[in-house]
Chains A and B, each alone.
Chain A
Amino acid sequence: MKLDVHCEMLLSEYHEKLPIYEKMKAVVLDLLRNCLDKNNILVSGLEARVKAEQSLAGKLELKGYKYHTLEDITDVLGARIITYYSDEVDIISALAEKMFEIDWANSVDKRKMLEIDRFGYLSLHYVCRIPETLYKDPELPQLNKIRFELQMRSTLQHVWANMYHDIGYKSNVEIPIEYQRNMTRLAGMLELADEQFCRIRKEINGYRRTVQSMVAMGKLDEVPLNGDTFRSFLSLKPFKNLADKIAAINHGEVYEDNLMPYYRILLNMNMKTIGDIVKMSKTYSESAYQLALLQLAGTGLDIVTYSVALQNLCIVAILKKGFGEAGLVSFFNALYGENDYHQQRAKRICEQARKINLI
């Protein structure tokens, strides 16, 4: 590659400033990561790179005359945020606008550059500076002067960009029109898929909110039992009273564990709605407590898990419905995996249940 004197000077400036760009890369990544964490935004990718020497030389060879100094090249440092959904790009860009100084004259929303009958590279590029209010290193004042490029795109936009780059740029020959047409068709398909993912997510969120409000309003018979509704139901701490009562047997405490493993068990027990679980709780709560009282009184065991309440409710329901020892063994197998010990445990519980006239 043959570069003129001006471009060679820019390249030598690049070598000199490389440590600053590397430091800036780490700072930008940290700032972006913290911002995403603080705003509870999950992204598919967060990356940054300092342009490689060869890549910069290639750019200078093509249009080095445009740049007076290295700092005129705004993408020597490039950062990229890849979102899961296309509508999250706007959220990220709003955060970037709050965080960084944006050089609007050089920022591009490529999503808006396309004609209505064109598809293709859809991405948002901001040229930014780190404001001193956000980060300052007295020994490196250049960190607040040098601009960098921040790309924001969805996962599918990223797929498109990568594939287009691989197929389009690597080829030494101009791509024939029929292949370009096929690429354009694919771009349109990805854009539609992006929209559909957003729509589906919105609908699912809407469904979740509806179900959560039904649970909160107590319309539990109308709420089908599924993983989502069970999780919402659990957030209301429906077994807290029983767990507290069981812990109080030895003036103890409740350790809050996760009840989600019971979801499949309750389905197996033929529970169809959240209302069915509430009915089970109301019907068998006293018996579940009596069973715990028989087991725990006098033991001095002053810590129980929250799940012990639902565990005892299920045990009582199984026994009251006449499934006996075999039912309990199936219950324990489903909950913990098969184990010979479950037979002994089921037998012991049945003996205890007889003592308190549960069966």
Chain B
Amino acid sequence: MKVTINQQNEKTLVVLDGRIDSTNADQFQQDIAPLMEGEKPDIDIDCTNMTYTSSQGLRVFLLLQKSVVARNGKMVLHNMNPHVKEVFDITGFSNIITII
């Protein structure tokens, strides 16, 4: 899993590439640690090249979402492939994370 983070004005653009599973979920959490800082974050996560997430990955997304909400910010995941989207749907995570 490769995580690229870029700051564009007020918005933080994140690009995810690859799969998140038990072997790299901890690393994924470390990679996104910079997103857990700052007031009113506005985070846009491009999931075009994210091929899979396990429940460990879901837990990291949940941590990030809770952190963003606590800081009165917003986070959007977009361009998710149907297989990854299904993981969010059948676990109910589509109900708590904004996916467009």
Task: Flag whether B33 is at the interface (Cβ < 8 A).
Answer: no
**CB atoms of B90 and A295 under 8 A apart:** yes
A341 to B47, CA, bound (A): 14
Bound-state CA distance A335–B92 (Å) is: 12
Q: How many residues of chain B are within 8 Å of chain A by beta carbon?
A: 19
Is A281 interfacial (CB-CB < 8 Å)? no
Residue of A301, A306, A339 near B90 (CB, 8 A) is: A301
A317 within 8 A of partner (CB):
no
A305 cross-chain contacts in B, Cβ below 8 A:
91-93, 95-96
B94 in complex: contacting residue of A301, A306, A336, CB < 8 Å: A336
Q: Which of A257, A299, A348 contacts B95 (CB under 8 A)? A: A257
Asked whether, in the complex, the Cβ of A339 is within 8 Å of the Cβ of B82, the reply is: no
Q: How far is the CA of A304 from the CA of B93 in the complex (A)?
A: 7
CB distance from B98 to the nearest CB of A (A): 8
Distance in Å from the Cβ of B85 to the closest Cβ of chain A?
Answer: 6
A255 at the interface (CB under 8 A from B): yes
Q: Kindly state whether residue A216 has any CB partner on chain B within 8 Å.
A: no
Which residues of chain A have C-beta atoms less than 8 A from B93's C-beta?
305
Let me know if B58 is at the binding interface, CB within 8 A. Answer: yes
Cβ contacts A184-195/B at 8 Å (1 or 0 each): 000000000000
CB of B9 to closest CB in A, whole Å? 25
Contact with B92, one of A307, A341, A348 (Cβ below 8 angstroms): A307
Q: Write out the residue numbers on chain A whose beta carbons fall within 8 Å of the beta carbon of B85.
A: 341, 345
* Neighbour of B96 across the interface among A257, A296, A344, A348, CB < 8 A: A257
B 25-79 contacts with A by CB, 8 A = 54-55, 58-59, 62
Bitwise, A327-338 to B at CB < 8 A (1) or not (0) is: 000000001110
Residues in B with CB closer than 8 Å to A107 are none
Which residues of A are found within 8 Å of B87, using beta-carbon distances? 299, 301
Known: A296-B90, A301-B87, A344-B82. A261 touches B58 (CB 8 A): no
> Which of chain A's residues have a CB closer than 8 A to the CB of B55?
250, 252, 300-303
Interface size of A in residues (CB-CB distance below 8 Å): 27
The chain A residue with its CB closest to the CB of B54 is A300
Q: Which residues of A contact B99 (CB under 8 A)?
A: 336
Does A127 belong to the interface (CB within 8 Å)? no
Q: In the complex, are the beta carbons of B92 and A304 less than 8 A apart?
A: yes
Q: Is A292 an interface residue (CB 8 A)?
A: yes
Complex Cα spacing A255 to B96, Å: 10
Which residues of B sit under 8 angstroms from A232, Cβ to Cβ?
none
Asked if A308 meets B82 with Cβ closer than 8 Å, knowing A301-B55, A301-B58, A339-B100, the reply is: no
Indicate if the CB atoms of A311 and B92 lie closer than 8 Å.
Answer: yes
- Which 5 pairs, one residue from A and one from B, show the smallest C-beta to C-beta distance? A308-B92, A305-B92, A295-B90, A307-B95, A303-B55
**Given A252-B55, A301-B90, A345-B86, 20 further pairs, Cβ under 8 A:** A250-B55, A255-B92, A255-B96, A257-B95, A261-B95, A292-B90, A296-B91, A301-B54, A301-B55, A301-B87, A303-B55, A303-B59, A303-B62, A303-B91, A305-B91, A335-B95, A339-B100, A344-B82, A345-B89, A348-B86
16 contacts between A and B (CB under 8 A): A255-B92, A257-B92, A295-B86, A295-B90, A296-B90, A299-B90, A300-B55, A301-B54, A301-B55, A301-B90, A303-B55, A303-B91, A304-B92, A305-B93, A307-B96, A339-B100
Binding site for B on A (CB under 8 A): 250, 252, 255, 257, 261, 292, 295-296, 299-308, 311, 335-337, 339, 341, 344-345, 348
